[in-house]
C-alpha cells in the first residue's frame, strides 16, 4: 500500500480506508491525544514505541505534563515527543524525550 501511495494512487488508500484522512503515508494513531481539554495533567508515565506522535495537545488550555519519559527507536517514523497545536498555558517539567 505504501508503494501505491508514494506513486500517487490515493484512491487505492481511500477505497480500503473510507473516511480516513491520508496523512504521512499511512494511517497511524497517536499514542495520547488531548482534544479541547481544559485543566488536565499527564504525570508519571513512561511512553514507549508510539506508532506516530506520542502526545498531542490540540485546542487545550491549562495542561500540565510532568515526570514523563518518552522513548522511541531512532528508526521510528514521525514519532514526535510532544506536539502542542493551538493550545495555551501548557506547563512541561521533568520530561525526558528520546525519539
Q: How far is Cα 63 from Cα 58, in angstroms, rounded to an integer?
A: 11
Among 84, 98, 93, 87, smallest CA distance to 64 is for 93
Q: Is a pLDDT exceeding 90 seen at residue 22?
A: no
φ, ψ at 95 (rounded to 5°) = -115, 130
Res 74: pLDDT: 85
Q: Using one digit for the tens of pLDDT, what is the confidence trace for 23-39? A: 655 677 889 999 999 99
* Average pLDDT, rounded, for the chain: 89
pTM of the complete model: 0.75
Task: Count CB-CB contacts under 10 A for residue 1.
Answer: 12
Amino acid at each position: 500500500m505504501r508503494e501505491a501511495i508514494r506513486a500517487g494512487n490515493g484512491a487505492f488508500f481511500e477505497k480500503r480506508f473510507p473516511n480516513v484522512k491520508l496523512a504521512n503515508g499511512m494511517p497511524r494513531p497517536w499514542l495520547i491525544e488531548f482534544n479541547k481539554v481544559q485543566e488536565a495533567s499527564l504525570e508519571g508515565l513512561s511512553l514507549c514505541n508510539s506508532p506516530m506522535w506520542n502526545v498531542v495537545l490540540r485546542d487545550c488550555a491549562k495542561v500540565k505534563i510532568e515526570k514523563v519519559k518518552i522513548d522511541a527507536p531512532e528508526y521510528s517514523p514521525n514519532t514526535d515527543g510532544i506536539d502542542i497545536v493551538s493550545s495555551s498555558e501548557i506547563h512541561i517539567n521533568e520530561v525526558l524525550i528520546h525519539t
